[in-house]
Amino acid sequence: MRKSILGALSIALAIATQHSALWAGNPASCSGSECDAGMIRGDGCAAGCSSGLASDCDGCGSGCNSGSNAGCDGCGAGCNSGSIAGCDGCGAGCNSGSIAGCDGCGAGCNSGSGAGCDGWGSGCGKGGLFCDSAGGDSCCADGLFGLGLLGGNHSGWNISGWVDAGFIGNTSSPDSKFNGPYNAVDRSNEGMLNQLYMIVEKRLPRDGAGIGGRIDILYGEDYLLAQSNGLERRDDGSARWNGEYYGLALPQAYVSMGNEDVSLQVGHFYSVVGYEGVMAPDNFFYSKSYSYQFAGPFTHWGAQLNVRPTDALSFNLGIHNGWDSLDRESDKPGFIGKVRYDSQSSNAWTSFAITTGDSSNNLSGNALNPDFTNRTRYSWLMALPVTKRLDYVFHHWLGFQEEGAADGSRADWYGIDQYLTYSFSDCVKGALRFEWFRDEEGTRVGLNRSSNPNDPPFVGDFYSLSAGLNLAVSKSLTIRPELRADWFDGTAVRQPFDDGNDDNQFMLGIDAILRI
């Protein structure tokens, strides 16, 4: 079975490469002349531009385009000196928050607020669906169908968003239509409206001091992991107003004070721990890694200080009320922190983030003595530009829960995710993702929807291999085809896939993201 899976992946990659070559010959379909031929790295300002690979980008090395086009004046490690929408020379290669998921808050990502934002290279957006993956100054900035129908107001509140919908074909055709123990992009052989996502945001000023804020609203199947105890769920974790498959969630709602270099945000925000995130445009792949689904928090309620002392260094420090909780049965403060370093001579970067505090030790229903005990999770990330077109990201993470195992001992889960991304052209990117997730006591994988029959414990090792493309059809539309294989090596009363009947599965998926 595994040999046939790997064979299918090889054939599919060969076909995808031939298809990509055809796209590469027509970059104009997504305004390639304004892209930096490396869209997975933000806007490339920290390490220069694109070595002249695009007509408007002359690879000047110390900044952007040396003024070779409107809005790009070689500002060094920053961006475009504010000459055009969404780019104001923030020093870390981001977009100052003009659109979803990017507000130049530190190391060039989205408020450092976490899930889904550690960036590819020194920019933002993590995976780069369009030219800079956050709609900065190139082929992604014009709003719905390039007409600027939403956003673009740099003096006040801006509105932006997207629609994400797709389909996953599971060759096992499980009767339950669940893709094994998944809790995200989890339905098989049927269409899914994953995200109808809206952001209302006011950015902080670059200099001086001001007051800003942000509210995110999500409707769709992905609501499940954007919920909070005390809001969408009751304090005991039971559902309040959402159904099982589709629901409404408020993943972020915070007030911020300060400027782009030093700010305090208070309220509800994405966690800085982890790599992949809730927001679809911040992820290269349609399907989600196990570490995203089961290893860490998605959001926090609390306060977080974001500090960027230099263009290369940024910090996030905060307190919160546990994982994904506004109000719990036992409210206790927890800690979160992150440090990130961006090389100023290349697009390499590294970060370390950690959160710790007391949380329920009985999420899987297996704890010997249900209680609130210490739960800790950390993530270490490293990104390296292998060539001008090839980038590598390494992610190691670990989590544990005191007294979380069925015998009353500590429960541990840990693993490694790896990403290899190649830029075929301004409009076509390809990537591989290989992951290993070790669920030592079988307490994490399988925390999913109530009718999913693939429940824990699954004691052992989960692996997955994904191959996918990002096809920028236009300024506003990106299509993400993907092939994925999963397998399990461990002990379980029921196997994790095909409703308990198999230890592996193979899937073919595709989704489309339309920015508005």
- 403-423 pLDDT per residue, tens: 999 999 999 999 999 999 999
**pLDDT class for 55, splitting at 50, 70, 90?**
very low
CATH (domain of 415): 2.40.160.10
Phi, psi of 45 (to 5 degrees): -70, -25
Query: How many whole angstroms separate alpha carbon 124 and alpha carbon 342?
Result: 12
Position 328 pLDDT exceeds 60: yes
Q: Which domain holds residue 299?
A: 171-188+260-515
For the chain, percent of residues with pLDDT exceeding 70 = 70
Phi, psi of 2 (to 5 degrees): -65, -35
Kindly report, residue by residue over 422-475, the tens digit of the pLDDT: 999 999 999 999 999 999 999 999 988 989 998 889 999 999 999 999 999 999
Residues 59-79, mean pLDDT to the nearest whole number: 40
Residue 165 domain-assigned (yes or no): no
pLDDT the model gives residue 369: 87
What are the CA-CA distances from residue 207 to residues 72, 210, 260, 261, 437 (Å)?
A: 20, 9, 7, 8, 43
What are the CA-CA distances from residue 276 to residues 54, 123, 124, 273 (Å)?
A: 29, 15, 13, 10
Position 67 pLDDT exceeds 80: no
pLDDT the model gives residue 155: 52
Residue 55's Cβ-count burial label (10 Å; 0-12, 13-18, 19+) is exposed
Residue 245 domain-assigned (yes or no): no
C-alpha neighbours within 13 Å on the C-beta side of residue 148: 7
pLDDT the model gives residue 153: 52
Show the 3-state SS of 111-130. CCCCCCCCCCCCCCCCCCCC
- Token pair of 93 as six digits: 């290669």
pLDDT the model gives residue 80: 41
| Closest CA relative to residue 130, chosen from 142, 118, 122 | 142
Position 15 pLDDT exceeds 80: no
C-alpha neighbours within 13 Å on the C-beta side of residue 26: 9
Residue 380 domain-assigned (yes or no): yes
Q: Which residue did the predictor score with more confidence, 273 or 145?
A: 273
β 313-320/390-401 pair status: unpaired
The length of the chain is 516
DSSP 25: T
Query: How many whole angstroms separate alpha carbon 125 and alpha carbon 105?
Result: 13
pLDDT the model gives residue 492: 85
> Please, what is the Cα angle at 393 between 293 and 4, to 5 degrees?
70
Residues 136-153, mean pLDDT to the nearest whole number: 42
29 in the Ramachandran plot: left (φ > 0), alpha (ψ -120 to 50) or beta? alpha
Query: How many whole angstroms separate alpha carbon 485 and alpha carbon 374?
Result: 34
What are the CA-CA distances from residue 342 to residues 51, 119, 248, 314, 499 (Å)?
A: 20, 10, 36, 9, 44
| Closest CA relative to residue 152, chosen from 87, 207, 106 | 87
Kindly report, residue by residue over 384-408, the tens digit of the pLDDT: 999 999 999 999 999 999 999 999 9
Residue 117 domain-assigned (yes or no): no
Mapped onto helix, strand or coil, the DSSP state of residue 348 is coil
CA 491 to chain centre: 31
Mapped onto helix, strand or coil, the DSSP state of residue 185 is coil
Residue 56 domain-assigned (yes or no): no
pLDDT the model gives residue 4: 44
pLDDT the model gives residue 450: 87
What are the CA-CA distances from residue 210 to residues 7, 168, 186, 257 (Å)?
A: 56, 45, 42, 6
Kindly report, residue by residue over 238-273, the tens digit of the pLDDT: 899 998 899 999 999 999 999 999 999 999 999 999
**pLDDT class for 86, splitting at 50, 70, 90?**
very low
C-alpha neighbours within 13 Å on the C-beta side of residue 181: 34
Residue identified by tokens 């379909």 is: 29
For the chain, percent of residues with pLDDT exceeding 90 = 63
Position 368 pLDDT exceeds 70: yes
Instruction: Please check whether residue 470 is in contact with residue 450, taking contact to mean a CB–CB distance below 8 angstroms.
Output: no
pLDDT the model gives residue 221: 96
Residue identified by tokens 């007391």 is: 358
Residue 40 domain-assigned (yes or no): no
Q: Give Rg (Cα) of the chain.
A: 21
Position 150 pLDDT exceeds 60: no
**pLDDT class for 364, splitting at 50, 70, 90?**
confident
Query: How many whole angstroms separate alpha carbon 82 and alpha carbon 298?
Result: 32
**pLDDT class for 237, splitting at 50, 70, 90?**
confident
Q: Which residue did the predictor score with more confidence, 429 or 65?
A: 429
Query: How many whole angstroms separate alpha carbon 85 and alpha carbon 159?
Result: 14
Position 24 pLDDT exceeds 70: no
Spatial neighbors of 18 by CB under 8 A, at least 6 apart, are: none
Position 23 pLDDT exceeds 60: no
Kindly report, residue by residue over 191-212, the tens digit of the pLDDT: 999 999 999 999 999 999 999 9
Count of the separate structural domains present in the chain:
1
Q: Which residue did the predictor score with more confidence, 71 or 474?
A: 474
Count of CB atoms situated within 10 Å of the CB of 77: 24
Residue 356 domain-assigned (yes or no): yes
Residue 81 domain-assigned (yes or no): no
Instruction: Please check whether residue 241 is in contact with residue 232, taking contact to mean a CB–CB distance below 8 angstroms.
Output: yes
